[in-house]
Every structure is written in C-alpha cells, then in structure tokens.
A and B are shown apart, each in its own frame.
Chain A
Amino acid sequence: MNPYVVLAWKNIRRFRTRSALTIFAVACSVGVLFSILSFHLGFEKNLEKEIEKTGLDFMVVSKGCSFEVASLVLYGAVLPKYLDDGLLVKVREPEGVEFATPILVGQAPNLKSGRVDVVYGMDMADIATAKPEWVIEGTAPKHFNEVLMGYLLAEQYKLKVGDEVNYFQEGSNFRVTGVLKRLNSQEDSAMFMPIHALQKILGKPGAMTSIGVKARHFMMIESIRDDLTLKIPGVQIITMGQVRENISGVVASSRALTLTIAIVVAMVSVIGVVNSMLISVFASKREIGVMRAIGASRQDIFLWTLYESVVILGLGGITGILLGIAGSGLAESMVRKIIPYVPMGDTIHSEPRLALSIFLSSLLIGVLSGLYPAWKSSRVRPIEVINC
C-alpha cells in the first residue's frame, strides 16, 4: 500500500475522536445527498412506470389547469367540470384511435371507516384493452351494486371476493366481484365500478370526467390530437408526455431546493474537514518538523496531509452511502409525507452507479478540501518546531 496512505491512516487513528467526528459529519452530508439523488432517480423511474400503467396515450378533459389533469391521471382527482358522453362518438371518429373509454372519477365515503375513497366509473367492456396489466381475482363488476377493489383498499377493509361493502349512504351495499392484484400504482388504493352506476349514484347522468384514448401507433398520437382539437372545441387534450412534464416540473422545483440544501450541508462538512485538517496539522507540527528533519520533502508532507484528507472523505463517503441505503425506508416515508404526489413502489433507487459517482466525488472533495491544509503543513519549518 502507498506509504503515505499508511501514514495518513495512522494519524487518523491517532486522533480517533476528531477523525470519527469528521468522518461522521461527512457521512451525514453524503448520506443526505445520496438519499436525495436516489429519491429523484427512483421518482422519475416510478413516475414513468405509473404513467405507462394507465394504458393510455392521452386524455380528453374539460378546459382547465393542466396540473389538475396530471392529478386526475395519477391519483384520481375529482375535477369540477364534466364532459358530456355525446363527445365519446366524436373522439372515436379519427382514424388511428384504437379505443376511447369514458372515465368518471368520484369520491366514495365509507361510512364505517369514516374515510373517503376514490372511485372510478369505467366502461368495464374496455378493461381488457385499456388495462392490459390488470389481473383480477374474481371478475369485473357488471351491475349497479357491484365493485372491483384495488389491492390495498381490499386489504385495508379486509375484503374478499363475494363480500359486501357499504359506501355513500346507510344501507347502500356493494358486492365485491373482484380484487385487483397489486399494481404498485395509485389504483391499488381505489375502487372501480361501471360508469353508468357511478353516474347514477353521483346524480350526473351522461357525465364523464375524462375520456382516455389510446392510439394504434405512437406516431399517430400527434395527428389524432390535432384532429380532435379542431373538431371538438372547449376541451383540453393532454398527452401522457405532458402529464409527465407537469409532474416532473413540480418535482424539479423541490429537487432544486433539496439539492441546494444538500450542497450547503456538503459545503459545511467540507469546511469542517478543512478545519479538522488544519487542527491536525497544528497538532502534528512537531512530527512534521521531525519528518522534514529526517528527510521528508515538502512534497512528502503535502501528500501525507492530502492523503489524510482523502482517506477521511473516502471513509465518510462509504459510511454515508451505507447510511443512505440503510435509511432509505425512513427517508421514503418522510418524503411521502412532505411531497403531495409520490409514485407507488420503492421510490428510493440506490443505484451502484450513483453510489460510485458519489464516492468518487467525495474523494475529489477530499483532494480539494485537503489542498490548503496540505500546503500549510508543507510550509512548516523544522527549526521552528524542534530543538535541534
């Protein structure tokens, strides 16, 4: 092993408390940075997956805020404006439309639990094409008083196929015809019923929140969209790419904020390392003087101090990454409480490539933060510190 690394390591062990505190400070900031970057990486991947799981290429909705549409797509927001089901025929007209399915989103109060769940009214005949990834234990609901439960919702209410569940008002019971297998999306926490049934329950006959459209080929999406925009005034057509951009835009601002905080934390720890290294240089002044006297050049002393800084940052980097991995569950639950929309699934992706780049960055920061203390140590004059 490089003798300077050995010397640096011996010096680190000599000042155990100082070194441990410095390494811990570095580890904390590296851990925070690693968690934040892992979260954003995971967020984008899961968002992509979640959008893919909608099985749609674009949504037709009433004119309004594009963020509302994103909310509708991703977690079933209830929009104040409705479309008339007469539009469905027009939307199905353009060449290239594989299918267009009506969607009505509502809120279903569960009187027993006191919770309000999201309910989707859908044309159950379209499920096979619109939701190809759905695996249903049981069958899709066909009648007025039948529902299909999302995986988590069924688990929460301990419902099985054939059970009854009470929604909307006293005595209004629905038979569970099926339970969805876990999808790791917001649909796990929702309930589904035939759209005509939901329209009746909500007192909105012929109303739709949106029309989900799938094109035969992704190359046709733009032309269908242009066609529909011309033919149907007063509606908004949002592609899934736009939904992704809208969500990413919201998250980007939080990412900028959290990254700024992480960078400030990292800078504070770098200052801590510089300070700690300067203290080390000061405390080792006599040893440095002796080493110079017995033949160490300024470069030798410079390298020795620099390696010490790199070893500290390297150890702090590894510890921080391990802390980040170990604490990812905690970080995820905290993030889910803070950020309004987080895709389902493991949002923190601790990728080896990210871990490696953070580790290499911490080594680089080790070099940079060690430069001044190393220069300072190399200027120690032996006769000033030893009584030769």
Chain B
Amino acid sequence: MLNKCPVVRLEGVDKVYRRGAEEIHALKNINLTFSAGDYVSIIGPSGSGKTTLLNIIGCLDKASRGKVEVGGLDTTSLREKELVRIRREKIGFVFQQFYLLPGLTVRENIALPLTFSKRPVDEQRMEEILKLVGLQGRAGHKPNQLSGGEMQRTAIARAIVNNPCVILADEPTGNLDVNSRERIYELLHDLNGKGLTIVLVTHDLNAAERTQTTFAMTDGMLHPVDDVADYFCRMKAV
C-alpha cells in the first residue's frame, strides 16, 4: 500500500549552534543510512542531539556541514520551496504532543497534508486509514473529544496520508498511558510491516526493544546499541 522509498542517508553531518562567541556542537560527524522498511530507534539523554538529528532528517533545519539525503534527494543545497515539497511528500511527522489543529475534526486533521498538496481527499483511502488507526467511529470528533491515544493515532494517520517514505516520530508515547502506548507500538509495527521506514526517538525501553536497530546519541555523536536493556540500565545508574 505504501511507497517503497529510497533511504535516509547522512554523511559527515555536523550541526553547530552559535550563542554569542560560544559554539555548541549539537551533532558531530554523523554518518547513517536507513533503508526502506527499517524500524530504527534513537535513544539518549535529553540534550544529546536527538531532536536536532530528527530536525535535519525532516528538513526542518539545515546541517552546518555534511550531506543529507532523503528519498534519494540531496537536501543540503535545496531551497525552502523544494524542502517543503520533500516534507510534504516524503516525510511524516509524529510529535509527542500530537499537535492536532483544535478547530478541525479527526478527518480534517488527517486530510490537512492533502490540502497543502492540492490533492483531493480520496474517500476510500481515508476510510482505509481511519480503519488502520482504529478511528472509524471518531472521524467527526474534534481533538478535545478524543483521548490521548486517539489523538496520537490521528497524528499518525495524518503522517501517513500522503504516502511518505519515512515516519519521524519524536517520543510519540511520551504523553500516553500504558494501554495507549501499547496500541501505538502495535500501530507503528504494522506500518513498518507494510514497508514504511520509521525513525523513533524515545526514552522508553519497551519502544526501543521493538525496533530492529537502536542508536544511542551521546554528546552529538551516534553509535549503535547492541543490548538496549543494558544501555537503559547503565543510563539509569548514571
């Protein structure tokens, strides 16, 4: 159902912020490749650079150095207009705080990316998506009438409506109870099973353990983690 898209690839990516005369190295020489169908988690302490990495992959921010490819396109030298097109067509965002538009219904929130793509809503596809995320009966509800889990499932539906090649999820279960978390993990797993690449930033051992690959971010540097449970144990001790 979903596109088989090219990988996300970063080569020698640095990100430097300047605060007055001080330079803050948020990312240091990041090299990674995510293939189609990968399910990757990125873990690490707060302030280690996880969000910065997601911003750069998601074309919301630019690398100070290095090369970034998304869906086979080198985004490093692209202009804002082209970056918008990549965000619209190749990337789906899921945020910890859902960020649904409060005035719109579930259906309207899901269809929002289509509005920006100037594409009509395919009712059949909309029904498929609503069924996939388990919100068939809630399509006409406003966000304030939904539970946290339902809001996050709406956000996930919004992220996949344009058939992206990668989902960037920043702590999607951070605001949810255990049952809702479980449902979101299952949903992400199902989507990955359909060939969608998912990059998940999380502080949750459960979530990280369900992904195929886990990377840890420490002081702007990325390194693979073989034993996720052990990593979390050491983090707790620290």
- Residues of B contacting A386 in the complex (Cβ-Cβ under 8 angstroms): 95, 99
Whether A297 contacts B55 by the Cβ 8 Å rule is: no
Whether B116 contacts A387 by the Cβ 8 Å rule is: no
B115 at interface, CB cutoff 8 A: yes
Whether B99 contacts A286 by the Cβ 8 Å rule is: yes
Whether A14 contacts B116 by the Cβ 8 Å rule is: no
* B236 CB, min distance to chain A CBs, angstroms: 23
Against A, the Cβ 8 Å flags (1 = close, 0 = not) of B80-92 are 1100100111001
Q: Which of B66-74, B100-108, B177-185, B226-234 contacts A (4 or more CB under 8 A)?
A: B100-108
Whether A300 contacts B116 by the Cβ 8 Å rule is: yes
- Residues of B contacting A287 in the complex (Cβ-Cβ under 8 angstroms): 99, 101-102
A90 at interface, CB cutoff 8 A: no
B39 at interface, CB cutoff 8 A: no
- Among residues of B, the one whose C-beta sits closest to the C-beta of A293 is B93
B117 at interface, CB cutoff 8 A: yes
Against B, the Cβ 8 Å flags (1 = close, 0 = not) of A276-293 are 000000000011001111
Q: A3-B115, A10-B101, A388-B51 are in contact. Are A293 and B60 (CB under 8 A)?
A: yes
Whether A294 contacts B116 by the Cβ 8 Å rule is: yes
Checking B54, B96, B116, B170 against A295 with a beta-carbon cut-off of 8 angstroms, the contacting residue is B116
Checking B102, B108, B115, B117 against A14 with a beta-carbon cut-off of 8 angstroms, the contacting residue is B102
- Among residues of A, the one whose C-beta sits closest to the C-beta of B174 is A387
- 8 A Cβ contacts from A330-388 to B: 382-383, 386-388
Q: How far is the CA of A262 from the CA of B85 in the complex (A)?
A: 46
Q: How far is the CA of A64 from the CA of B231 in the complex (A)?
A: 107
Whether A388 contacts B104 by the Cβ 8 Å rule is: no
A296 at interface, CB cutoff 8 A: yes
Q: Is the interface of A mostly helix, strand, loop or mixed?
A: helix
- Residues of A contacting B108 in the complex (Cβ-Cβ under 8 angstroms): 10
Against A, the Cβ 8 Å flags (1 = close, 0 = not) of B155-178 are 000110010000010100000000
* A246 CB, min distance to chain B CBs, angstroms: 58
Q: How far is the CA of A388 from the CA of B155 in the complex (A)?
A: 13
A142 at interface, CB cutoff 8 A: no
Checking A300, A382, A387 against B170 with a beta-carbon cut-off of 8 angstroms, the contacting residue is A387
B97 at interface, CB cutoff 8 A: yes
Q: How far is the CA of A290 from the CA of B60 in the complex (A)?
A: 11
Whether B170 contacts A291 by the Cβ 8 Å rule is: no
- Among residues of B, the one whose C-beta sits closest to the C-beta of A300 is B116
- Residues of B contacting A290 in the complex (Cβ-Cβ under 8 angstroms): 93, 95, 99, 101
Q: Total contacts A to B, CB within 8 angstroms?
A: 73
B113 at interface, CB cutoff 8 A: yes
| Most B Cβ at <10 Å: residue of A293, A297, A382 | A293
B139 at interface, CB cutoff 8 A: no
* A313 CB, min distance to chain B CBs, angstroms: 20
- Residues of A contacting B97 in the complex (Cβ-Cβ under 8 angstroms): 387
A298 at interface, CB cutoff 8 A: yes
Q: A298-B80, A387-B95 are in contact. Are A10 and B55 (CB under 8 A)?
A: no
Whether A388 contacts B81 by the Cβ 8 Å rule is: no
Q: How far is the CA of A294 from the CA of B108 in the complex (A)?
A: 14
Whether A383 contacts B61 by the Cβ 8 Å rule is: yes
| Most B Cβ at <10 Å: residue of A3, A294, A296, A383 | A294
Whether A388 contacts B54 by the Cβ 8 Å rule is: yes
A13 at interface, CB cutoff 8 A: yes
Q: How far is the CA of A320 from the CA of B168 in the complex (A)?
A: 48
Q: A3-B115, A388-B55 are in contact. Are A296 and B84 (CB under 8 A)?
A: yes
- Residues of A contacting B149 in the complex (Cβ-Cβ under 8 angstroms): none
- Among residues of B, the one whose C-beta sits closest to the C-beta of A6 is B108
- Residues of A contacting B115 in the complex (Cβ-Cβ under 8 angstroms): 3, 7
User: Shortest 8 CB-CB distances between A and B: which pairs?
Assistant: A295-B88, A10-B103, A290-B99, A14-B103, A295-B116, A3-B115, A297-B84, A296-B116
Q: Can you sample 27 A-B contacts with CB below 8 Å?
A: A14-B102, A286-B99, A287-B99, A290-B93, A290-B95, A290-B101, A291-B101, A293-B87, A293-B93, A294-B93, A294-B112, A294-B113, A294-B116, A294-B158, A294-B159, A295-B88, A295-B117, A297-B81, A298-B80, A383-B61, A386-B95, A387-B95, A387-B96, A387-B170, A388-B51, A388-B93, A388-B168
Q: Show the binding face of B for A, using Cβ within 8 Å.
A: 51, 54-55, 58, 60-61, 80-81, 84, 87-89, 92-93, 95-97, 99, 101-104, 108, 112-113, 115-117, 158-159, 162, 168, 170
Besides A290-B95, A382-B60, 13 new A-B residue pairs in contact (Cβ under 8 A), listed by A number? A286-B99, A291-B112, A294-B88, A294-B93, A294-B159, A295-B84, A295-B88, A295-B113, A297-B116, A386-B99, A387-B96, A387-B170, A388-B93
